[in-house]
Structure 1
Amino acid sequence: MKKTLNIIVFLILIPFLAGCGNTMKNNNNTNEAFNLQTKVYDVINDNAFEGFGNLIFPVDRNIPKDMTLENAGDLYIWYNNINPNKTVEIVNYMKDQTTKGNKIFYNIYSKEEMEADPEKKNTGLFFFRGNENSKFAVLNAGGGFMYVGAMHDSFPHALELSKKGYNAFALIYRPDPEKAMEDLSNAISFIFDNADELKIDTSGYSVWGGSAGGRMAAWLGSYGTDYFINKDYPKPSTVIMQYTSLSEVTGNEPATYSVVGTNDGIADYRIMQERTNRIRRNGTDAKIEIFEGLSHGFGLGEGTNAQGWIENAVKFWEEHM
């Protein structure tokens, strides 16, 4: 396993180092706190996000001082079909939640742990609230273990899940395979240990991820938290994976739902199809949706032939709760 973790960065980063930047743009303004012309730094420095605003956008990417939300998609190399209006919706949702007095960010490490290891300060969970005492999901964005692309690859999914009544946590992790798995495992630990305060149901939870985050979701499903932090918590009932060509199958996988495009130069759809078949042969439910002509990093797939895939993924999770 550790050998696998040590080599995957190289495998992920080979293609498209120049980036992909297919972005859907719309010049409509809104009457809410933020709009397409709002500068990214104005969001980061907003008083509502004091103490964690820097984690809303990738801390490991250089953000130009004059970059607006309309152009923030340029930060997310390897990603396509980025919708600036969704970015605006998300930051306004976050602002609205804090205005209502709802806590939206939780540290997963103690103050002492973060002081001992400053890298851990750049971790945490963004909480997209659903209904009280409903089940939860943890979402892991990709970014090639170079950065965390949450604004396109986990925040939108978390927001959609919350609209369906589920409690969704988007993890900001350290972009290193082993550290990321430590962060994800500690996030699961935090959620279970604070379930009463968070008002969530911990049974039958799911773990989601795209690209590098998809590997994280799969590894947690296959190995469990005790492999990474020596603390044993229940494994997820369901893993939802987007566009990651992980081939490893241990025989311990939970029910797994995967999506990928045929034009993905990073995650080969045939590898994902074969992994799905292997999980099935082990007697575990597994499904895959393959979208003709779609490239890597399509997120929710709005405006593409993948639009609506999240509905199918949620139904699959519900079947395995």
Structure 2
Amino acid sequence: MEMLLNMKEKGILSVICFFIFICVLVLSGCGRQEEENLQTEGQPSGGGGDYTLETKVTDVINDPVFEDYGRLIFPVDRTIDDNLTLQDVGEILVWYHNVNPNRTVEIVNYLKDQAASGEQIFYDIYTEEEKAEDPEKENTGLFFFRGEPGAKTAVLNAGGGFVYVAAMHDSFPQAMELSEKGYNAFALIYRPGADTACEDLARAIAFLHENAEELQIDMTDYSLWGGSAGARMAAWLGSYGTAAFGEDDYPAPASVIMQYTGLSEVTGNEPPTYACVGTNDGIASYRSVENYIRWIKNNGTDTEIEVFDGLQHGFGLGEGMVAEGWINNAVDFWERNMGQTE
């Protein structure tokens, strides 16, 4: 707990600045997605399920195939109109650009196909007793994008300004890409708020270590991924460890993969870190990201950064843009740092 308080003291300036900027964007309406930012041509057509661009989001949430966790596929902390379709999901993903509706359709069809085939795709990280004691823990858990049995594991954390969880754009697509490469990928749905989010990520890491055999995953050399607020979570857990957030002390990740977030505190305990950001990011200055990576590198830790000209905040996979393919570089970075941790 002392370590956690220390982290809060060191990071308070950056977190306050982050939230101030978020509030300005909310009030100005700058976060609303523009249709011209949607990347729809030459992209996935939606998979083998029966959802389409015209499918209502509420129909996905209430599909019996998802039992009682369908509500967590989309942000539970955002108001979802009964008539909102998959085509227009970007409207509720505040602060995100380039939301790809065809990718959204592909993901929900993948999840439906997996669930319909009998695969367990969602895992609670808290017990029923813990959820009864704290009802907010009901809205947490891990979506599993399966790779090869026994393969290495990635844990992905979407952003959303610690206000909501933008998994449909900021962790599900990355998780699907990793699973297609053979890795086992878990997208965390957490409680918004910096403290609770980190507690949930620590619990998720503990859960995966404790259940690795049953899940048929390898948690040796696991990686933590995140975009925006989710990247802060990944960085904090990588630097401070699970014990700082109420869990037993589990091994540090082999790599932290960060998208578009700027941190100022460097402890010297950072794992190898990859980061990417756009030069037109109004929330996470690419200069701040460059400084953060340089400070980590100066401590003798492996780092890599990619700065993409002209891109705004929240470009996701970067499909059809200059950032396309960044995830392959991030995987290469993770792979070269496997076997380096004690």
TM-score class normalised by the smaller sequence: over 0.9
Measured after TM superposition, the shift of residue 12 of structure 1 is: 4.9
Amino acid at match of 1:223: Y
Q: Does 1:233 align with 2:242?
A: no
Deviations 1:114-155 (A, max 9, x none): 011000000000000000000000000000000000000000
Q: Which residue of 1 aligns with 2:135?
A: 118
Which stretch has the larger CA shift, 18-27 or 113-122?
18-27
**TM-aligned CA distance change 1:289 to 1:30, over 3 Å:** closer
Q: Answer whether contact 2:154 2:185 (CA < 8 A) is retained.
A: yes
Q: Does 1:24 align with 2:73?
A: no
Helix, strand or coil: the match of 2:296?
helix
Residue from 90, 93, 98 that aligns with 2:115: 98
The count of corresponding residues between Structure 1 and Structure 2 is 321
Q: Which residue of 2 aligns with 1:47?
A: 64
Alpha-carbon separation, structure 2, partners of 1:279 and 1:11:
26
Measured after TM superposition, the shift of residue 100 of structure 1 is: 1.3
Alpha-carbon separation, structure 2, partners of 1:26 and 1:205:
32
TM-score (norm 2): 0.91
Q: Does 1:10 align with 2:19?
A: yes
Q: Which residue of 2 aligns with 1:270?
A: 287
Deviations 1:215-240 (A, max 9, x none): 00000110000011141101101000
Helix, strand or coil: the match of 1:156?
helix
**TM-aligned CA distance change 1:229 to 1:9, over 3 Å:** farther
Q: Answer whether contact 2:203 2:247 (CA < 8 A) is retained.
A: no
> Identity rate of aligned residues, in percent?
60
Alpha-carbon separation, structure 2, partners of 1:116 and 1:92:
34
Alpha-carbon separation, structure 1, partners of 2:96 and 2:277:
13
Instruction: In structure 1, list runs of 5 or more residues that go unmatched.
Output: none
* Aligned pairs for 1:48-87 within 5 A: 48-87=65-104
Q: Answer whether contact 2:61 2:73 (CA < 8 A) is retained.
A: yes
Deviations 1:211-262 (A, max 9, x none): 0000000001100000111411011010000000112110000000000000
Instruction: In structure 2, list runs of 5 or more residues that go unmatched.
Output: 1-6
Q: Which residue of 2 aligns with 1:207?
A: 224
Alpha-carbon separation, structure 1, partners of 2:282 and 2:32:
11
Q: Which residue of 2 aligns with 1:242?
A: 259
Q: Which residue of 2 aligns with 1:287?
A: 304
Q: Structure 1 segments of 4 or more deviating over 6 A?
A: 27-31
Measured after TM superposition, the shift of residue 32 of structure 1 is: 3.1
Alpha-carbon separation, structure 2, partners of 1:163 and 1:31:
16
Amino acid at match of 1:215: R
Amino acid at match of 1:16: L
Amino acid at match of 2:67: E
Alpha-carbon separation, structure 1, partners of 2:95 and 2:87:
18
Which stretch has the larger CA shift, 211-220 or 227-236?
227-236
Q: Answer whether contact 2:222 2:254 (CA < 8 A) is retained.
A: yes
